Amino acid sequence: MRQVEIFNLTKSYPNPYGETFRAVVDFNLNIEKGEFVGLIGHSGCGKSTVLTMLAGLNEISDGGIIVGDSEITGAGPDRAVVFQSPCLMPWMTAFGNVMLGVNNVYPHATKAQRKQIAEYALCAVGLADSMNKRPTEMSGGMQQRVGIARAIALKPTVLLLDEPFGRLDSLTRMELQDVILEILDREKITTVLVSHDVDEVVFLCDRVVMMTNGPAATIGEILSIDFERPRERTSMMKDPLYYQCLDHLLSYLTERAHLRTDPRIHDSSNLLGFTGAKVETAK
Amino acid sequence: MSAKYTILKGIDIAGLNFLSPVVRLATGEEPAKQMKEIGRLIVIPTLAFLAFFWLWAVVAPKHRTKSGEVPTPSVVWDARAGIWRFHNYETAKQDGFLLQGKERETELARATARIAEVGMLEKIARQQLTAAREASTVKFDTTVAPAKNAYDTLREISRESRKGRTAALKAEAATLNTATEEARLAFLQKLRDTQARTEIDKLELAKLKDRYEEAQEITFPEVKDATRANTVLAEEKQFLVKYIDMLGKDSRELKLAAAKTKLKETRTSFLTATEGDLYRLGSGIIKNEKFIKTTASSKYAKPWTLPKQIVRSLLCVFAGFLLASAIAIPIGILCGLSATFMAAMTPFIALFKPVSPLVWLPIIMIIIGGFMPDPENNAFLMFFDKVPFIKNYKIDPMFLSSAVTVALCSLWATLVNTALGVGAVDKDHMNVARVLRLGFWSRLFKIVIPTALPLIFAGLRISLGVGWMVLVAAEILSTSEGIGKFVNDMYTNGSSESFAQMFVVVFIVGIIGMLLDRIMVVFQRLVSFDSAVPAG
């Protein structure tokens, strides 16, 4: 079942000299319900622009986005965002930060129900013991966990992750990736992740959308990551396919990202390596 | 968390950083380092203050004014005691007037005993004064008298010689009518020489006079001290005489009792009289009843004393400050939220911010006077007469004018800071608000205001400081009872004691201003989440 449909999405900025700068053009993508899609590309290629347009925080210049069965017109809690910085209100506790959204999204629930929703979300990210701490008393990783809890407490149709682990050290990043996977395995929320970390997208995503270099960036290739769920890091890292996927992504980013072709679809059957060599896979 | 760190945290929040090395030293933490810190934060400032006082004590007496010489620190300290004594005496009279029954009698006995004691002390003090004066006369004779004699003698001599010279010249002039031109010119030269001589004499005389005056100016500290002791005792005696009256014949209780007895008598004679003017007796009863009624609620008309004036000034500054905050914070928030509104407000802020309180005050006094043509029966002012505590400080149009002036001059800092704080809301936080679809009020109270609070409080702190400075000026001009009025009274009084009391006010205003600032610093730190207390 199709959950998100992005058609001919374009973002252009007029500059003061009457010309327009086109950041993203003709971005077309359909996302299935419960699917985990990653957006990867070089810095400045417009992947975050696509995500913020999907979130409704950035105006759409042309084309459109349909979520569920209606076109989006602005930001809303059906498309919860986890930002790169945790964006917590420093004057509220972890619980208060989660409740800020919950109060607004479930206006008809009783106080006890809302409290339960917030507590559940915080437990899901492993903060059962730190609900009453303020952001200044928490590490960056814990703060980002609150950010995730705030997003999933809204029970969004689509969860948007905008480089959520970009500012964390690699150990904390792995912990949080596991947290996200665990939650998504349970909740089956359609998710879009923007990242420039190839390990991360291979480990987390069902499909990785590779974007061409900007300006006028669009989809270059799409790679299906054919690993079963639930996924487990150690066993995945023993699988040669994992590295072949990494190779494909890295070779795209270093060798093919500047090319302008129609989007190509790849999966474990037609993986590419460096210098465009076809990779034979075991599967 | 141990008690030590609780105390250190409190010190940090209150901004009393100079105390933290003391606490650390007391708990034996790195003594050498703490001693160094104590040296920097406590010893050096203390030394600086001592140096200031020394300089003050040396320089001040060198300048003479029409109110005597500029008071030294010790004179100012005595003036402070004088202000406090006056306050205590007046408070005692006020309380004494209302005492009743046994309490009143005990107090009366105590006061009577004290007045006898004071009489004795005064006698001793007077003897001491006489002795000191005699001793000083001897000193005077040895130092001043010779100089004065020299001056007097020279003055006499020069006057005589001048007279002689003038007479001789006049005689010569009488013979000149027949003299030749040369002789006449020679006379003119002689006249010139004589004039020059007189000038030289005058200069010499002035020199001697300076020497004599210098000798005369040698002060006699024993006499000064003895005089002061005498004055203090005389003041107390004067107070006790009044106080005994307040406790005795002038006390409310006795006045009421006398009036009641008289009323009873008049009543009896009115009811039983068979002859005489019953009209007069009857109206006498009514007059008596009225008198009893007013006496029962009467109070001693206590004059304004400095402590009471300080409290009124504080009330006034807080009234102005609250008014300023009530205006500045909402407008500041609107300015921060809307660039259009900010554009509309900018010219007003730029135009009115620099206006001096001395310009606002007369205008506001007239405007408020227009609202309250009859202050005695104004409903708004009468409302304050019923509010506990505030009713003792007589809220009048002058008070309101001063408060409004304080508000007008101090609101700008809060307004600008609030606008700045609201405008500085994190874009990411606004994105969160958009995703969560927070409504206007939610955004305002959950995101915008908490972000702006530290800056709002920074503005409030500046406003309160400005308000306190403006208030004293406003009170001097409006003669609204308060610290400013006290200064004005002292200035008009012009005695050397009131000159010293003005110096006392300098320190009081400074200390209160400092305390207000510290309080605002504490609030500012409590609301700023950046310096939030670390986990522990």
**Residues B247 and B111 sit within 8 Å (Cβ to Cβ):** yes
Query: Tens digit of pLDDT for each residue in B347-362?
Result: 999 999 999 999 999 9
- Residue A73, C-beta contacts closer than 8 angstroms, at least 6 positions apart: A56
Q: Give A17 to chain B, closest Cα distance, Å.
A: 26
ipTM over 0.85: yes
A77:B450 CB<8 A: no
Per-residue confidence (pLDDT) for residue A282, from 0 to 100: 53
- Counting beta carbons within 10 angstroms of the beta carbon of residue A130, is it exposed (0 to 12), middle (13 to 18) or buried (19 or more)? buried
Query: Tens digit of pLDDT for each residue in A146-187?
Result: 999 999 999 999 999 999 988 888 899 999 999 999 999 888
DSSP string, B34-81: HHHHHIIIIIHHHHHHHHHHHHHHHHGGG-EETTEEPPPHHHHHHHHH
Task: Inform me whether the pLDDT recorded for B535 exceeds 50.
Answer: no
Q: Which residues in chain A are closer than 8 Å to B529, comparing Cβ atoms?
A: 90-91, 134, 136
Please state, in angstroms and rounded to a whole number, the distance separating the CA atoms of residues A118 and A134.
15
B438:A137 CB<8 A: no
Mean residue pLDDT of chain B comes to 88
Q: Give A74 to chain B, closest Cα distance, Å.
A: 8
Per-residue confidence (pLDDT) for residue B216, from 0 to 100: 66
B437:A83 CB<8 A: no
- Residue A165, C-beta contacts closer than 8 angstroms, at least 6 positions apart: A144, A172, A173, A176, A177, A195, A197, A200
Task: Please compute the mean of the pLDDT values over residues B518-529 and round it to a whole number.
Answer: 86
- Residue A92, C-beta contacts closer than 8 angstroms, at least 6 positions apart: A100, A134, A135, B446
Task: Please compute the mean of the pLDDT values over residues B532-536 and round it to a whole number.
Answer: 37
Pairing label, strands A2-14, A20-32: antiparallel
Query: Tens digit of pLDDT for each residue in B123-151?
Result: 999 999 888 888 887 777 777 777 788 88
If we measure between CA atoms, which residue out of A244, A237, A242 comes closest to residue A271?
A244
Q: Which residues in chain A are closer than 8 Å to B432, comparing Cβ atoms?
A: 81, 83, 87, 89
CB atoms within 10 A of CB A141: 19
Please state, in angstroms and rounded to a whole number, the distance separating the CA atoms of residues B510 and A73.
60
Task: Inform me whether the pLDDT recorded for B536 exceeds 60.
Answer: no
A55:B435 CB<8 A: yes
Helix H, strand E, coil C: the string for B404-455 is: HHHHHHHHHHHHHHHHHHHHCCCHHHHHHHHHCCCCHHHHHHHHHHHHHHHH
Greater confidence, A229 or A67? A67
Task: Inform me whether the pLDDT recorded for B530 exceeds 70.
Answer: no
Instruction: Using pLDDT thresholds of 50, 70 and 90, give the confidence band for residue B64.
Output: confident
If we measure between CA atoms, which residue out of B251, B316, B262 comes closest to residue B289?
B262
Integer CA distances (angstroms), B322 to A211, B359, B512, in order: 58, 21, 18
Instruction: Using pLDDT thresholds of 50, 70 and 90, give the confidence band for residue B405.
Output: very high
Interface probe with A: pick from B429, B435, B444, most Cβ of A within 10 Å: B435
A137:B535 CB<8 A: yes
Q: Where are the domains of chain A?
A: 1-78+158-232+255-264, 89-155
Q: Which residue in chain B has the smallest CA separation from A58?
A: B431
**Residues B478 and A117 sit within 8 Å (Cβ to Cβ):** no
B428:A87 CB<8 A: yes
Q: Which residues in chain B are closer than 8 Å to A83, comparing Cβ atoms?
A: 428, 431-432
Residue among A77, A81, A90 whose CB faces B437 most closely: A77
Per-residue confidence (pLDDT) for residue B385, from 0 to 100: 87
Percent of chain B with pLDDT over 70: 98
Q: Which of residues 447-476 of B touch A (CB under 8 A)?
A: 447, 450, 453
Task: Inform me whether the pLDDT recorded for A208 exceeds 90.
Answer: yes
Please state, in angstroms and rounded to a whole number, the distance separating the CA atoms of residues A132 and B394.
49
**CATH number attached to the domain at A1-78+158-232+255-264:** 3.40.50.300
Instruction: Using pLDDT thresholds of 50, 70 and 90, give the confidence band for residue B473.
Output: very high
Pairing label, strands B64-65, B68-69: antiparallel
Rounded to the nearest 10°, the torsion over CA A217, A219, A221, A224 is: 130
**Which span out of A255-264, B141-150, B459-468 was modeled with the highest average pLDDT?**
B459-468
Q: Which residues in chain B are closer than 8 Å to A80, comparing Cβ atoms?
A: 435
Contact with chain A for residue B529, Cβ under 8 A = yes
Three-state DSSP class for residue A64: strand
Determine the length of chain B: 536
**Residues B416 and B332 sit within 8 Å (Cβ to Cβ):** yes
Please state, in angstroms and rounded to a whole number, the distance separating the CA atoms of residues B138 and B156.
26
Please state, in angstroms and rounded to a whole number, the distance separating the CA atoms of residues A76 and A80.
7
Task: Inform me whether the pLDDT recorded for B407 exceeds 90.
Answer: yes
Contact with chain B for residue A54, Cβ under 8 A = no
Residue among B431, B446, B529 whose CB faces A100 most closely: B446
Of A138-142, B26-30, B321-325, which gets the smallest average pLDDT?
B26-30
- Residue B98, C-beta contacts closer than 8 angstroms, at least 6 positions apart: B252, B299, B300
Question: What count of Cα atoms within 13 Å lies in the side-chain half-sphere of residue B134?
Answer: 6
Per-residue confidence (pLDDT) for residue B315, from 0 to 100: 95
Burial annotation B423-433 (CB, 10 A radius, 16+ → b, else e): bebeeebbbbb
Backbone angles phi, psi at A9, to 5 degrees: -70, 130
A56:B447 CB<8 A: no
Please state, in angstroms and rounded to a whole number, the distance separating the CA atoms of residues A224 and A201.
11
- Residue B344, C-beta contacts closer than 8 angstroms, at least 6 positions apart: none
Q: Which residues in chain B are closer than 8 Å to A132, comparing Cβ atoms?
A: none
Q: Which residues in chain B are closer than 8 Å to A56, comparing Cβ atoms?
A: 434-435
Residue among B428, B446, B447 whose CB faces A85 most closely: B428
Owner of token pair 């010279």: B165
Mean residue pLDDT of chain A comes to 89
Query: Tens digit of pLDDT for each residue in A30-58?
Result: 999 999 999 999 888 888 999 999 999 99
According to DSSP, residue A225 is labeled -
Please state, in angstroms and rounded to a whole number, the distance separating the CA atoms of residues B483 and B275.
61
B529:A134 CB<8 A: yes
Task: Please compute the mean of the pLDDT values over residues B97-109 and round it to a whole number.
Answer: 89
Interface probe with B: pick from A48, A53, A73, A91, most Cβ of B within 10 Å: A91
Tokens found for residue B481: 């009872």
Instruction: Using pLDDT thresholds of 50, 70 and 90, give the confidence band for residue B533.
Output: very low
Per-residue confidence (pLDDT) for residue B532, from 0 to 100: 44
Contact with chain A for residue B424, Cβ under 8 A = no
Tokens found for residue B92: 């005692």
Contact with chain A for residue B446, Cβ under 8 A = yes
Please state, in angstroms and rounded to a whole number, the distance separating the CA atoms of residues B489 and B492.
5
B446:A89 CB<8 A: yes
Greater confidence, B222 or A40? A40
Task: Please compute the mean of the pLDDT values over residues B222-228 and round it to a whole number.
Answer: 83
Owner of token pair 């999966």: A267
Query: Tens digit of pLDDT for each residue in A63-107?
Result: 999 998 889 988 888 999 999 888 899 889 999 999 998 988 888
B429:A89 CB<8 A: yes
**Residues A159 and A122 sit within 8 Å (Cβ to Cβ):** no
Residue B30: enclosing H or E segment and its boundaries? none
Query: Tens digit of pLDDT for each residue in A5-31?
Result: 999 999 998 888 888 888 898 999 999
Task: Inform me whether the pLDDT recorded for B166 exceeds 90.
Answer: no
Task: Inform me whether the pLDDT recorded for B534 exceeds 50.
Answer: no
Peptide bond into A16 cis (omega under 30): no
Q: Give B439 to chain A, closest Cα distance, Å.
A: 9
If we measure between CA atoms, which residue out of A85, A28, A20 comes closest to residue A211?
A28
Task: Inform me whether the pLDDT recorded for B312 exceeds 90.
Answer: yes
If we measure between CA atoms, which residue out of A116, A134, A233, A129 comes closest to residue A180?
A233
According to DSSP, residue A272 is labeled B
Please state, in angstroms and rounded to a whole number, the distance separating the CA atoms of residues A8 and A60.
10
Query: Tens digit of pLDDT for each residue in B187-220?
Result: 888 889 888 988 888 888 888 887 777 776 666 7
Contact with chain B for residue A149, Cβ under 8 A = no
Task: Please compute the mean of the pLDDT values over residues B477-504 and round it to a whole number.
Answer: 90
Pairing label, strands A158-162, A79-82: parallel
Residue among A75, A134, A136 whose CB faces B435 most closely: A75
Contact with chain A for residue B525, Cβ under 8 A = no
B532:A90 CB<8 A: yes
B437:A104 CB<8 A: yes
Please state, in angstroms and rounded to a whole number, the distance separating the CA atoms of residues A180 and A125.
8
If we measure between CA atoms, which residue out of A195, A180, A198 comes closest to residue A242?
A198
Integer CA distances (angstroms), B112 to A106, A142, B90, in order: 79, 77, 18
CB atoms within 10 A of CB A169: 11
Contact with chain A for residue B434, Cβ under 8 A = yes
Interface probe with B: pick from A52, A136, A162, most Cβ of B within 10 Å: A136
According to DSSP, residue A166 is labeled T
Report the interhelical angle of B397-423 vs B306-337 (nearest 10°).
40
